[in-house]
Amino acid sequence: MHEPSTLPVIVIDDEPHLRITASQTLELAGYTPHCFESAEQALEALSADFPGVIVSDIRMPGMGGMELLHELHRRDPTLPIILITGHGDISTAVEAMRAGAWDFLEKPFAGDQLLDVVRRGIEKRQLSLENNRLKAELEVQQAALGPRLVGRTAIISRLAAMIQRISQVEADVLLFGETGTGKDLVARAIHERSARRNNPFMAINCGAVPENTIESELFGHEKGAFTGAVERRIGKFEHANGGTVFLDEIESMPLALQVKLLRVLQERSIERLGANEVVPLNLRVIAATKVDLKAAAEEGRFREDLYYRLNVVTLPLPALRERREDIPLLFQHFAVVAANRSGLEAPSLDNQAVAALLAHDWPGNVRELRNLAERYVLLGAAFDYRLDMLLEGAASDTQEPTLPRQVELFEKSLISQSLSRHHGRVTDVCRHLGIPRKTLYDKLKKHGLHADDYRHSSDP
């Protein structure tokens, strides 16, 4: 964000003494004022992505403040416009707020009033520009082939370059990273950027498959190979022929099966359980682990020969705390995805929310951040969009909220968002949610919500 001394404020008024007074007040506070006696002059000087705010009188010769407001919002609806109204002209102020003005000042106004409304407008403008920049960056990254690595830090740029390089060669890959760092996404990114992209990508979590069935899952079996094998089964390796097999949590694979996996990697062929024929394979194997396999091999918990066979190309994945600058961008990405999926809005982050994100340690890494972004969109209104409260709630919960509690929080969030969108107008909220007035009032009472809290002070 810009320092106050670099932030411009455009002041438009046909009265010279007001322009001079406002300019002096803003300069003393560290802003850079640009004064114009007409709206037409200001429009000619206004650049795209103007980082400041506009302060304009409503009644002026030529283009008036309301006409200026509509023109500026046509260009950029997020630009804060502060309109100056005459003494006692409340109806004009109400009309201006409904038309989208950020705020208004009533003549005569004190310097402190001007600085307060400008400061709040500047903060809003900076957040809007930051969110626009994040969204633009996301659009560029989403245009990339296959799954996207969201981020702009040096460590994530190096990872992206390594993925691109590895995807062009045929070596097997070992991914190493903490839980939630995105090992599945990286494996899919390697596959989608490789020449194998049009062939299958088969993922299997070695820690989630029962030990007595994992061999059949990987290599398949013939009818009658064991009790319950009533028909032939094609395993993951054979099904992925021509493509990629992703073995997550490979440290959980039983030692006896590791011997067979080593043979598959060396000979590029498998034998189904109960079969004598060899099935040749053309595939890449990507394995992933969250533990030090070399240490596990030294302790006898993992086969040393398999470790060295997998360790030809090892790709370490950074923890989220090692790329903190990416956290706001990642959060925005996950919030937009959640909002599009649920049909809800993804509110912009303020400085307090960003600070809460950056201060958290993220033991669950990107997965934890994604879950928080989804909670923020779905349940944020129930917590007044306080990320610190959502984080505290997630940390204090020893288990996920029960389904009835999730439904209750979602209902409260949905009603709160509708009240905010319609400025507390009960009739509009009922129409939007498709419920009778009595039902809405019952639910407002149940959730401790009050329609009056969502009305602007200038609303009738």
pLDDT band at 394 (very low <50, low <70, confident <90, very high): low
Bridge-partner residues for 57, per DSSP? Answer: 84
Distances (CA, A) of 207 to 214, 251, 288, 397, 401: 10, 8, 11, 25, 25
pLDDT in tens, 420-450: 778 888 888 888 777 888 888 888 888 888 8
Q: Looking at residue 140, what is its pLDDT? A: 57
Residue 145: other Cβ atoms inside 10 A: 11
Whole-model pTM above 0.85? no
Phi first, then psi: give them for residue 126, nearest 5 degrees: -65, -40
The average pLDDT across 136-161 equals 72
Task: Please say whether the beta carbons of 98 and 81 come within 8 A.
Answer: no
pLDDT in tens, 310-324: 988 999 999 999 999
The average pLDDT across 381-396 equals 71
The average pLDDT across 209-218 equals 84
pLDDT in tens, 254-288: 998 999 999 999 999 998 888 888 999 999 999 99
Q: Could you give the domains of the chain?
A: 7-132 (3.40.50.2300), 155-316 (3.40.50.300), 322-447 (1.10.8.60)
The average pLDDT across 192-216 equals 89
Distance CA 322, CA 158 (A): 13
pLDDT in tens, 231-246: 888 889 999 999 999 9
Kind of pairing, strands 269-270 and 279-280?
antiparallel
Q: Looking at residue 456, what is its pLDDT? A: 55
Q: Is 285 helix (H, G, I), strand (E, B) or coil?
A: strand
The average pLDDT across 89-110 equals 79
The average pLDDT across 282-297 equals 94
Distance CA 174, CA 122 (A): 48
pLDDT of 161 above 50: yes
pLDDT of 198 above 90: yes
Distance CA 384, CA 452 (A): 16
Least reliable range by pLDDT among 122-131, 194-203, 204-213: 122-131
Bridge-partner residues for 33, per DSSP? Answer: 9
Question: How is residue 335 written in tokens?
Answer: 């919030």
Q: Looking at residue 165, what is its pLDDT? A: 92
pLDDT band at 135 (very low <50, low <70, confident <90, very high): low
pLDDT in tens, 31-70: 999 999 999 999 988 887 788 999 999 888 889 888 998 8
